[in-house]
Structure 1
Amino acid sequence: MKKIWFFIAFTAVLFSCSDNNRSNNNPNIPNYTISAYLDYNLPTYNNLRYVSNPVFVANYGAKGIIVMKTGEGTYNAFDAACPNQTVNSCTAMTIDGIYAVCSCDKSKYNLYTGLGEKEYPMKQYRVEVSGTVVHVYN
């Protein structure tokens, strides 16, 4: 009987952790097609070799993208547009350590989770790593 309850509890936790697409259904940020290949052997993306060293990449998404290594072989990528402001009202978010800061309202968003102080989290993109290349896409 304990095994059945464990299985039910495990299944509930597993399905409750699924992506609800809240960050990708943000009415403030349009859906742009993203496909960026970032080779961390290049000086521009060298910080992607190290955990907690985010990199801003212009000319992708609504206001650019922010990419950060979060662990061995794992990366996060987010749009640099303020998620709780209209795209035209603010400049790209700035990087402050492991946080992205909105230029309009100074809200901070954690680059490990994309969560911040407001209603919508940062718009997140998918990431794959192959050798020294980090591919950000949607």
Structure 2
Amino acid sequence: MGFIPASSRFAGAFLLGATALGVAACNSGTNAQPQIPLTVVNEVLFLTDQQNSALRFDNGAVYHKGGLRGLIVVRQNAGTYLAFDRTCPYQPQDTCARVRIEPFIRIFDSCCQSQFGFTGQPQGGPATLPLRRYSTALSGNTLTITN
């Protein structure tokens, strides 16, 4: 075996240590809260339907089928709509981990007491991850929700 300069040995040890710390940091974050299982979402919502009348106002929200435990659709403004899975990200495997709308106030999970704003971000309770968000596309009075 040949001679390895001290500076190269130090650099190699530093790189190995940094890699181990990086892997440990990544692993600790993934186990903090289980992931919401993936599901195919391809839904169409007609804004003119009476059941969607809350979407005529900013921060209005409605329930819609789809996702893992249903969807919540929120109007930010006349041209921007957000769609979230109703599964709470805190403990998504719990059967009661299903968020509900408190009209014009917040989105709330009565199971774990997590609270979310109408942008899906956590605002209180144990959840630190946002609600799972799906893509929305508006064409006239038709809103398409996909992932």
TM tier relative to shorter chain: 0.7 to 0.9
Query: Equivalent residues in 2 for 1:81-120 (5 A)?
Result: 81-96=87-102, 97-112=104-119, 114-116=120-122, 117=124, 118-120=127-129
Q: Secondary structure at the match of 2:144?
A: strand
Q: Aligned letter for 1:82?
A: C
> What is the TM-score when the length of structure 1 is the normalising length?
0.73
| Structure 2: distance between partners of 1:72 and 1:86 | 31
Matched, 1:136 2:142: no
Q: How many residues align?
A: 111
**Larger deviation, residues 87-96 vs 126-135:** 87-96
CA distance in 2, matches of 1:135, 1:98: 25
Give the Cα separation in 1 of the matches to 2:75 and 2:95: 29
Larger radius of gyration: 2
Instruction: Name the structure, 1 or 2, with higher relative contact order (CA <8 Å, separation 6+).
Output: 1
> Does the 8 Å CA contact 2:42/2:144 hold for their aligned counterparts?
yes
TM-score normalised by structure 2 residue count: 0.69
Please give the alpha-carbon distance, in whole angstroms, between the structure 2 residues aligned to 1:39 and 1:98.
Answer: 24
Name the CA shift for 1:134/1:98 in 2 (closer, same or farther; >3 Å).
Answer: farther
**Regions of 4+ moved over 2 Å:** 86-89
The structural deviation recorded for 1:87 is 3.2
Aligned equivalents of 1:36 and 1:45: distance in 2? 14
Q: How does 1:1-138 map to 2 (within 5 A)?
A: 27-58=34-65, 60-96=66-102, 97-112=104-119, 114-116=120-122, 117=124, 118-138=127-147
Q: Distance in 2 between matches of 1:110 and 1:93?
A: 12
Distance apart, 1:135 and its partner CA: 0.8
**Unpaired stretches in structure 2, ≥5 consecutive residues:** 1-32
CA distance in 1, matches of 2:109, 2:39: 20
Q: Where do 5+ consecutive residues of structure 1 fail to align? A: 1-25
Note the aligned Cα RMSD (angstroms).
Answer: 1.6
SS in 2 for 1:44: helix
Percent identity at matched positions? Answer: 29
- The superposition leaves residues 7-40 of structure 1 with CA deviations (integer Å, 9 ceiling, x where unpaired) of xxxxxxxxxxxxxxxxxxx743111110111001
Deviation at 1:91, TM superposition (A): 4.7
Contact preservation (8 Å) 2:83, 2:134: yes
